[in-house]
């Protein structure tokens, strides 16, 4: 996937030493969501949780968990570009 806008990832500071990394994702200076590392259960695989911002309402939306960082980033960008194509997402 190729993007025409400037996509920026910024690592957010952790509050506790054991916190998993979180990245804020912006396009042309506008925050579109976050990517968070997480462990699920006792698995040794690190998953990336994507949470987008629905640009019409500002609501936060859980998008997916993936072990592929780039795939999670692409889903976040796709959601920003066409949120209506994501059916059954969980709003916060």
**Does residue 53 sit within a domain?**
yes
**Residue 6 DSSP SS3:** coil
Domain count of the chain? Answer: 1
Q: What local confidence, expressed as pLDDT, does residue 78 receive?
A: 92
**Does residue 92 sit within a domain?**
no
Q: What local confidence, expressed as pLDDT, does residue 52 receive?
A: 94
Alpha-helix runs per DSSP H in 1-92: 69-81
Q: What local confidence, expressed as pLDDT, does residue 6 receive?
A: 87
Domain hosting residue 55, numbered range: 7-87
**Does residue 34 sit within a domain?**
yes
**Does residue 1 sit within a domain?**
no
**Does residue 58 sit within a domain?**
yes
Q: What local confidence, expressed as pLDDT, does residue 91 receive?
A: 53
| Whole-number Å distance between alpha carbons of 55 and 39 | 28
Q: Which residues contact 20 (CB under 8 A, 6 or more apart)?
A: 36, 37, 38, 39, 46
Tens digit of each residue's pLDDT, the chain (92 residues): 555 678 999 999 887 777 889 999 999 999 999 999 988 778 788 899 999 999 888 889 999 789 999 999 999 999 999 888 876 655 54
């Amino acid at each position: 996937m190729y993007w025409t806008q400037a996509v920026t990832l910024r690592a957010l500071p952790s509050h506790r030493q054991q916190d998993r990394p979180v990245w804020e994702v912006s396009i042309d200076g506008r925050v579109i969501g976050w990517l968070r590392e997480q462990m699920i259960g006792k698995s040794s695989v690190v998953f990336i949780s994507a949470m987008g911002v629905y640009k019409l309402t500002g609501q936060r939306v859980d998008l997916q968990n993936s072990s592929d960082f780039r795939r999670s980033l692409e889903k976040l960008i796709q959601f920003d570009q066409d949120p209506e194509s994501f059916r059954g997402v969980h709003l916060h």
